[in-house]
């Protein structure tokens, strides 16, 4: 595999990493806009159509378009232990600090998103509480939490792939 070697940010573009807007936009809410650096909630279908047109223009100009989610899935598939390490780090960086919720989220991801690319896409989209199996923990936080609350935030800025996914 050849390493990354960028000598100019203004030269001819040969290859580009993109992310097609996906379900992460569906997890934007008015309450999370500021935190997730958005001014408004974009329409997913419009964002996807605009992305597809943009990617098409790039291809017509001879640019190789590769997708972030494909690269990530390919990287994770090189070593069976990477998926678990990735999930552990993703859950930790989402702010989950209890063993109970770490295991609930891991079980949910592994049972509902067995394919590596599907799992990557889900980590990009985020998870809200109502998606997880109802737990009867008798914990106060579980009794009073809004079921639509985000447990793991979405990554709606991924179509600006250079910064957030690096």
Helices (H) and strands (E) in the chain, counts: 6, 4
> pTM of the prediction?
0.84
Q: What are the domain boundaries of the chain?
A: 15-159
Run of H or E including 105 = helix 99-112
Lowest mean pLDDT among 12-16, 50-54, 64-68, 157-161: 157-161
Q: Looking at residues 2-18, what average pLDDT do you find?
A: 81
pLDDT of residue 132: 86
pLDDT in tens, 64-81: 999 999 999 999 999 989
Select 15-159's CATH number: 1.10.540.10, 1.10.3930.10, 1.50.10.10, 3.40.50.300.
Answer: 1.10.3930.10
Q: What percent of the chain has pLDDT over 90?
A: 54
Identify which has the larger pLDDT, 17 or 117.
117
Residue 48 predicted with pLDDT over 70: yes
| pLDDT tens, position by position, 129-153 | 888 887 666 666 655 566 667 889 8
Kindly state the helix (H) or strand (E) to which residue 81 belongs, with its residue range: helix 80-93
Per-chain mean pLDDT for the chain? 87
Which residue's entry shows tokens 């690269």? 71
Q: What is the mean pLDDT of residues 17-34?
A: 87
């Amino acid at each position: 595999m050849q390493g990354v070697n960028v000598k100019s940010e203004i030269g001819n573009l040969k290859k580009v990493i993109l992310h097609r807007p996906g379900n992460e936009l569906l997890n934007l809410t008015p309450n999370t806009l500021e935190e997730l650096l958005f001014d408004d909630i974009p329409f997913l279908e419009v964002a996807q159509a605009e992305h597809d047109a943009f990617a098409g223009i790039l291809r017509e100009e001879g640019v190789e378009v590769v997708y972030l989610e494909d690269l990530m899935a390919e990287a994770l598939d090189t070593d069976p232990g990477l998926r678990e390490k990735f999930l552990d780090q993703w859950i930790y960086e989402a702010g989950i600090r209890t063993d109970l919720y770490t295991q609930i989220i891991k079980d949910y991801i592994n049972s509902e998103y067995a394919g590596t690319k599907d799992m990557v896409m889900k980590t990009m989209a985020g998870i809200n509480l109502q998606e997880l199996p109802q737990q009867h923990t008798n914990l106060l936080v579980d009794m009073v939490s809004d079921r639509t609350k985000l447990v793991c935030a979405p990554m709606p800025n991924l179509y600006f792939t250079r910064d957030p996914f690096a």
